Chain A
Amino acid sequence: MKRASLFTAVTLTVIGLAGPTLAQTPKGPLVNGEWLEKNLSDPKVRVVEVSVEPGLFERGHIPNAQNVVWHTDLVDTVRRDIATKEKFQDLVRKLGIDKDTTVVLYGDNNNWFAAWGAWIFKSYGFDNIKLLDGGRKKWEADKRPFDSRVASVAPSQVSIGEPNSKLRARLSDVNDAVSKKSNATIVDIRSPDEYSGKVFAPPGSQELSVRAGHVPGAINVPWVRAVNEDGTIKSADELKKLYAAAGIDDSKPIIVYCRIGERSSHTWFVLSQILGYDVRNYDGSWTEYGNTVGLPVVNVAGTVWGGK
């Protein structure tokens, strides 16, 4: 264990030395804890936590961070949809975010919901959106401080337009890809057991589909393959190789999906923001496709819903 932590420390030092000059906003879509800790009081940097476990933010968050609740803030709570323009505008104004603010998102669960947040921010035309590499877990593991007080911020007067539909895939886009009307590559980022149809949903998940399996033609690359042991995202070169080996590259547009669209936001972020591919997130995901009457499904495991 000691050896492992020593190794990590050495690796971190090497990365730190090779990294960009500190205090300047990093060019890429990721920031590390070291940079963030030095820039927490910068009024042009707004740190936003998007975690799913209740009470996590309140019991301790990155100093000056603001809290966003996925279940109520980033979605429409009545229709199944992303937050409306009006709702999201109210939210970003309250968070004091302007068009030129650098927004750093982070959260629990390997940044799944933070990545969903990044996808929504990007959809509504915010360009300076970054993820804290490794999320809460890495920040904590690096022994950086948490705070339980909520910082008050001056609201902004930003105005936003309709969301950019080019970042989002709808059921019709998926159908077009299945029936070869479009040449999009579909990537299923769920676990191999969900992909094969062995299970309907990960253990403990409420939102179920009444059919198991995957979209015909979808390639299975579980989201977790894009991250290192410590939760940070792999280097661009590694990612490029990894996805190319599965037949995913920038030659064709890509559609990613999972169960409800949150884990696929993670892969959407990796493919679009880090590798620069043309990617749409299909937030309807398996709970829409797998429940739609009459659509073709591949169920390798042969699991039957409700049957013994």
Chain B
Amino acid sequence: MASEALTSQDKAYAHRIDAPQTATAPGSPASFAFVPSLVRLLVSAALLVVLAALAYVLHLNRQPGLSLSLLLGAAFGIVLQRSRFCFFCNFRDWFDRGDPRGLFGILVALAVGIVGYAVVFGAWLPDPSSGRLPPDAFIGPVSLVLPVAGLAFGAGMAISGSCVSAHLYRLGEGSATAPFALIGTVIGFILGFMSWNTLYLTQIVGAPIVWLPHWVGYAGTLVASLIMLALVALWLSRGGQQRSQPVDDTPWRKILIHRWPAWIGGAIVGVIGMVAYLRVAPLGVTAEIGSRARQIASVTGLSTGRLEGLDTLRGCVTVIRDGLVSNNGAFIAALVVASFAAAFVSGQFKPERPTAGQASRGVIGGILLGWGAMTGLGCTIGTLLSGIMAGALSGWVFAVAVFTGIAATLLVGRRIGALG
């Protein structure tokens, strides 16, 4: 059993992986690293087999959308956990320590996704100038509400320690903050519904919906977007390149235990984004959370009325559903289960007892995340990632606002001593 203890390199990674939690919560991290690795491997493998079997049963029952959502959600959960594809942590690595490698992962995801979307668009909508938008791509209105939503979302990330997708995979790592952040997100969504009609009628209704290929074609969008990403990459690495230490270990341990290089995770996220759009719907993690929040809001009478114009907009738009599982619901569930499997096998499943600080920061940050995701019609995955991949101006605007929101909140929060 002693041989299963983490190597010093593992510890270095584990430290980085859990930095947002361990920094704030001494708690009692009960690392499951003491469980023999064979048992961990079997448990994780069994979970993935169960997901695969479920997907197969759905496939046999002619539910291709649900089946694929389950598989894509599982793949997404594994990649997020293994490569720590967390917008906030990656930003903070660069913001605090000048390490841009995590952010490069996000840029790679965008670059791969932009190319992938262009390939799909070219087949679906050969002429982008026709005035028609590609079906269900996340191309949202650009109004004043969008940067405000992005700032709120960024602040929520800084306070709660992650964005919504990262809280979901952290749930699989046993994070003490994640459950509170997700509860906060639901509350934030309900507040979003309550403010929606005013925001929509005063700001969003006349706002332009800008799809870049409509103006500059697919080639123009590809060139402009990729140059933009390259410029951002250059700017991020202006403090000098950091050399990655090559991990010297067996291939299995590199895959199952060590953190994957961020750019590999990013490339896989880009491919998943394209495949999800091709076969089911653009990647997004808040549609299901939003529709559950809407159900709660309507049952409790907090927001029963009609949400003006919401059904006509693109994004992680919430619709009232019946009790059955939606594609997005299957995606989210598989994401959490698979990220648990990935965390468990690597010894990174560390359930903690939440501290009061974690709980309150989770809820407060979560409320901002939920409000931002509702009024911004998506989160860092839907509006930012899937939006930029689709050539939507709304994706770029949201991205700028989100990162500005994180930076501002970190600066102010640290000055007043509320954030570490």
Enumerate chain A interface residues (CB-CB to B < 8 A).
54-55, 57-59, 69, 72, 140-141, 148-150, 152, 204, 206
Contact = CB atoms under 8 A, between A and B. Distances in A.
A55 B281 contact: yes
B265 to A, nearest CB: 26
B240 interface: no
Contacts of A204: 320
Given A55-B135, A59-B279, A152 B124 contact: no
A204 B306 CA distance: 12
Interface string B92-132: 00000000000000000000000000000001111000001
Contact of B124 (A69, A140, A148, A206): A148
B4 interface: no
A58 B124 contact: yes
B126 A150 contact: yes
Chain B interface SS verdict (over half): loop
B351 interface: no
A55 B311 contact: no
Q: Is the interface of A mostly helix, strand, loop or mixed?
A: loop
Contacts of B125: 58
A27 to B, nearest CB: 33
Contact of B136 (A55, A69, A72, A150): A55
Contacts of B6: none
Contact of B278 (A59, A141, A150): A59
Nearest to A147: B123
21 contacts: A54-B135, A54-B136, A55-B135, A55-B136, A55-B281, A58-B124, A58-B134, A58-B135, A59-B278, A69-B132, A72-B132, A140-B62, A141-B62, A148-B123, A148-B124, A149-B123, A150-B123, A150-B124, A150-B126, A152-B126, A204-B320
Contacts of A57: 135
Contacts of B281: 55
| Most central of A54, A57, A149, A152 by chain B CB within 10 Å | A54
A206 B319 CA distance: 12
Contacts of B135: 54-55, 57-58
Contacts of A150: 123-124, 126
B298 to A, nearest CB: 14
A255 to B, nearest CB: 31
Contacts of B136: 54-55
Chain B CB count within 10 A is highest, among A58, A148, A152, for A58
B266 to A, nearest CB: 25
A186 to B, nearest CB: 31
Nearest to A69: B132
From B124, B278, B311, residue with most partner A Cβ within 10 Å: B124
